[in-house]
Amino acid sequence: MAEKTKAKSIDQASLQMIEKASCDGVNLSFDRASAIKPCPIGEVGSCCKVCSMGPCRVPLPKGKAPETPEEKRKRRGVCGATAETIAARNFVRMIAAGAAAHSDHGRSVAELLLAVGRGEVSGYEIRDEQKLLALAMDFGVEIGDRPIAEIAADVAQKALAEFGRHDGESTFIKRAPLKRQEIWRKNGVVPRGIDREIVELMHRTHAGVDMEYHNIIQQGIRASLADGWGGSMIATDLQDVLFGTPSPVLGQINLGVFKEDEVNVIIHGHEPLLSEVIVAAAADPEIQALAKKAGAKGINLAGQCCTANEILMRHGIPLAGNFLQQELSLVTGACDAMVVDVQCIMESLPDVAQCYHTKIITTSPKAKITGAVHIDFDEHHAMERAKDVLKLAIEAYTHRGKKIQIPECKTDLVAGFSHETINYMLGGLFRASYRPLNDNIINGRIRGVAGVVGCNNVRVTHNEAHVAMVKELIKNDVLVLQTGCSAMASAMAGLMVPEAAKQYAGAGLASVCETVGMPPVLHLGSCVDNSRILVAATAMVKDGGLGDDVSDLPVAGAAPEWFSEKALTIGQYFVASGVFTVFGATWPTTGSPEVTEHLFGGLEKMYGAMWAFENDPIKAAQMMIAHIDKKRQALGISKARERVLFDMAMRREL
Ligand code: NFS
């Protein structure tokens, strides 16, 4: 295999399909990335296109840094906007888009819960009543002996009101440690309504409004908190209510999950409203009979991207792969239909599908693609629409061509570690708590906790940074919590099974994993489920012994292969919640050293945490470990760890 192909991914199945694509004459994102170089000015945040006098490009002068004060004075757009204003505006506008995407997803779930509560839709039900009642208490909804459907409708209305709240504070802000809430209040970044913060951010970054970069970043932080502690948290909690709170489940991942003798349907996108009903429809006798009549043994569902994580966690449905594998799923020639809803979907899918027999089916009125079939998914007719989708897939199966090659790669994983599961798993059903986790951090067996999340980015080798970083962390006794494409990368590398503890984790972490029977890397779900990481961090604070704020905890965050605006929003709410966070691949504000320094240092004084950038995943992991050790030292628990490290008897015992 050519060296050039090897560097595109560390995953053998992906490499096989990249090679097949080139034989089949298919143009992939990997090819386009070679043909299109990133614009060097836009990449660093130095291109302003918020008005029609530009776009104005204000790059740093080449080859002789630092620039002189005179050069700096002139480095402005036509309207006078400085390089700082331009970089800060570009940065926070990405945050607004990410917050909007997650939050609009949350809103759809709240609308569905309202419809379920009012009895307006069939095919959905309340699966986690306990969680609904807990939410009712959060929102001040009366419980008494009212019917559960009525409570659900009231909770949904309260959740929907969070989006348009005009003033006051977002409800879930109160879930954070008290000290964190005070930090937010002091900095004036407690979100009001979710929509309001996004609208205000767009207003403030219009030409000629907010022109002080610290102030612009503050609104970016406020919008990010409206996502993490608002839109995403609503999405996660209400999905748990409607579809069930995840608990550990065994699954499989990679392109090897396709089946030659079944109708293969990939569910791709983000919102489980669609995927949950397709799962139910696939089991319907009418659909099964149609599949058999077409000559197939049945319907084989698999997920792609974050919706994959949702259906894996709740149904054990296999994962075909992460973001950069979506085109490769089609290249197998065995994908009969790919049904998509919103987010992280490549517009090239219908073009790739033309080389095979695959039907690309869009389902959301918010997201159509030229060249795809559109079946408007409407919760009021959910089951019929889901069956329409599957009938198209069955029809496509009968047109399968000869270009079929299913890689023989698939890996087992255990997923479904919700906050509730971690609580029970560690503490037991009758004394559910984070106490054992905190105790093991204090005694040093677990050095700290890292959240490694986010996307793939075709500019870096697919999955390489995720896997290298996670291995380095667990080797150093850091328990890793994951979501999204990052979780899938680790799963493909075999890090999400209990046996991985012995093979890859340090002695301390391995001993805890073996006692509890858990993997050293825990899969917490999709990208909106990063809110579960916020809840887990808060639970650690509340359990005691590790300080009184998230910024006191020996924890860190990372997104080593990020590409989407949503990832930046997640990173920003991690930082604003007190978590030191390292990104890789690229950094979008380096055109302004001042803005970059503010994000990489200034924020720490205000929020007790900051951003960092490091493209080498091992060095990035070491930065995270150094931060964890600094926090351990501040907590006075670094000595305990030294004893554990040098305790050879304990190692022998293991
Ligand atoms: Ni999240 Fe990135 Fe997309 Fe999921 Fe994957 S690309 S920010 S991880 S699928 S949302």
- How many angstroms separate the Cα of 33 from the Cα of each of 28, 408, 575? 9, 27, 30
Would you state the structure tokens that stand for residue 144, as one six-digit string? 């008494």
Q: How does residue 422 score in pLDDT terms, banded at 50, 70 and 90?
A: confident
Q: Are 404 and 333 in contact (CB under 8 A)?
A: yes
Q: What is the mean pLDDT of residues 270-280?
A: 89
Q: Which atom of ligand 1 is found nearest the CA of 344?
A: 3
- Report the distance separating Cα 169 and Cα 196, nearest Å: 12
Angle at 468 between CA 463 and CA 469, to 5 degrees: 105
Nearest CA residue ID for atom 10, ligand 1: 527
Task: Give yes or no for residue 527 CB within 6 A of ligand 1.
Answer: yes
Q: What is the mean pLDDT of residues 369-379?
A: 93
Average pLDDT, the chain: 94
Nearest CA residue ID for atom 9, ligand 1: 305
Task: Give yes or no for residue 344 CB within 6 A of ligand 1.
Answer: yes
Secondary-structure class of domain 255-397 per CATH: alpha beta
Q: pLDDT at position 5, please?
A: 45
Task: Give yes or no for residue 305 CB within 6 A of ligand 1.
Answer: yes
Q: How does residue 420 score in pLDDT terms, banded at 50, 70 and 90?
A: confident
What is the domain partition of the chain in residue ranges?
Answer: 83-243, 255-397, 417-635
Annotation: CATH topology of 417-635: Rossmann fold (3.40.50)
Q: What confidence tens digit (pLDDT) does each residue in 424-456 have?
A: 777 665 566 888 899 999 999 999 999 999 999
Matching fold, domains 83-243 and 255-397? no
Q: Are 293 and 329 in contact (CB under 8 A)?
A: no
Instruction: Say yes or no to pLDDT of 141 above 80.
Output: yes
DSSP 479: E
- Ligand 1 center from residue 344 Cα (angstroms): 6
Q: Are 423 and 540 in contact (CB under 8 A)?
A: no
β-strand partners of 301: 265
- Ligand 1 center from residue 550 Cα (angstroms): 24
- Report the distance separating Cα 556 and Cα 262, nearest Å: 43
Instruction: Say yes or no to pLDDT of 649 above 80.
Output: no
Q: Which atom of ligand 1 is found nearest the CA of 567?
A: 7
Q: What confidence tens digit (pLDDT) does each residue in 72-101 have?
A: 888 999 999 999 999 999 999 999 999 999
Q: What is the mean pLDDT of residues 239-249?
A: 95
Question: What CATH number belongs to 83-243?
Answer: 1.20.1270.30
Q: What is the mean pLDDT of residues 124-150?
A: 96
Task: Give yes or no for residue 530 CB within 6 A of ligand 1.
Answer: no
Q: pLDDT at position 430, please?
A: 58
Would you state the structure tokens that stand for residue 65, as one six-digit string? 């840094």
Q: Are 112 and 152 in contact (CB under 8 A)?
A: no
Instruction: Say yes or no to pLDDT of 1 above 50.
Output: no
DSSP code string of 220-279? HHHHHHHIIIIIHHHHHHHHHHHH-----EEEEESGGG--TTSEEEEEESS-HHHHHHHH
- Identity (one letter) of the amino acid at 221? I
Q: Which atom of ligand 1 is found nearest the CA of 305?
A: 9
Q: pLDDT at position 2, please?
A: 42
The residues, any chain, with a CB within 8 Å of residue 558's CB and separated by 6 or more, are 450, 451, 452, 453, 454, 469, 581, 582, 583, 584, 620, 621, 624
Probe ligand 1: pick from 319, 452, 455, max atoms within 8 Å of CB?
455
Task: Give yes or no for residue 485 CB within 6 A of ligand 1.
Answer: yes
- Report the distance separating Cα 604 and Cα 598, nearest Å: 9
Q: How many residues does the chain have?
A: 654
Q: pLDDT at position 332, please?
A: 97
The residues, any chain, with a CB within 8 Å of residue 316's CB and separated by 6 or more, are 249, 250, 251
Instruction: Say yes or no to pLDDT of 407 above 80.
Output: yes
Please tell me which residue, 343 or 71, carries the higher pLDDT value: 343
Would you state the structure tokens that stand for residue 561, as one six-digit string? 């292969």
Task: Give yes or no for residue 323 CB within 6 A of ligand 1.
Answer: yes
β-strand partners of 320: none
Q: pLDDT at position 650, please?
A: 56
Would you state the structure tokens that stand for residue 167, as one six-digit string? 């003033």
The SS3 assignment for 481 reads: strand
- Ligand 1 center from residue 544 Cα (angstroms): 33
Q: What is the mean pLDDT of residues 461-468?
A: 98
Instruction: Say yes or no to pLDDT of 4 above 60.
Output: no
- Ligand 1 center from residue 575 Cα (angstroms): 19
- Ligand 1 center from residue 527 Cα (angstroms): 6
Prior bond of 498 cis (ω within 30°): no
Percent of the chain with pLDDT over 70: 96
Q: Which atom of ligand 1 is found nearest the CA of 566?
A: 7
- Ligand 1 center from residue 305 Cα (angstroms): 6
Residue with the two structure tokens 């929509």: 195
Percent of the chain with pLDDT over 90: 88
Please classify residue 435 by burial: count the beta carbons closer than 10 Å to its beta carbon, then call 0-12 exposed, 13-18 middle and 19+ buried.
Answer: middle
Q: How does residue 3 score in pLDDT terms, banded at 50, 70 and 90?
A: very low
